[in-house]
Amino acid sequence: MSDNLIEITCSRCGHTWYEDLARLDEKDRVIYRDVVEQKHGDVVEQKTYRVRCSQCGANNIVTIRFEETEDG
């Protein structure tokens, strides 16, 4: 499984599937983005996506945190 795939479970019907983060960024599904620098120099980026379930059509909200440490 690719590092860029995330598992999503529909909050309405329970269907589970995988989405590629790069495709979510391309499709204009980002509904919120925040970047915060922590006290010890680490940077945390948080993105919230709207993802539609292919089974029932419900919109699901998924938040992903990306952490970058000061040493790489």
38-69 confidence digits (pLDDT tens) = 777 788 889 999 999 999 999 999 999 887 76
Identify the pLDDT of residue 27.
75
Q: Which residues contact 71 (CB under 8 A, 6 or more apart)?
A: none
User: How does strand 59-68 pair with strand 16-20?
Assistant: unpaired
Q: Are 18 and 8 in contact (CB under 8 A)?
A: yes
Higher per-residue pLDDT: 42 or 16? 16
Distances in Å between the Cα of 37 and the Cα atoms of 33, 46, 64, 66, 67 are 14, 11, 16, 12, 10
Identify the pLDDT of residue 36.
82
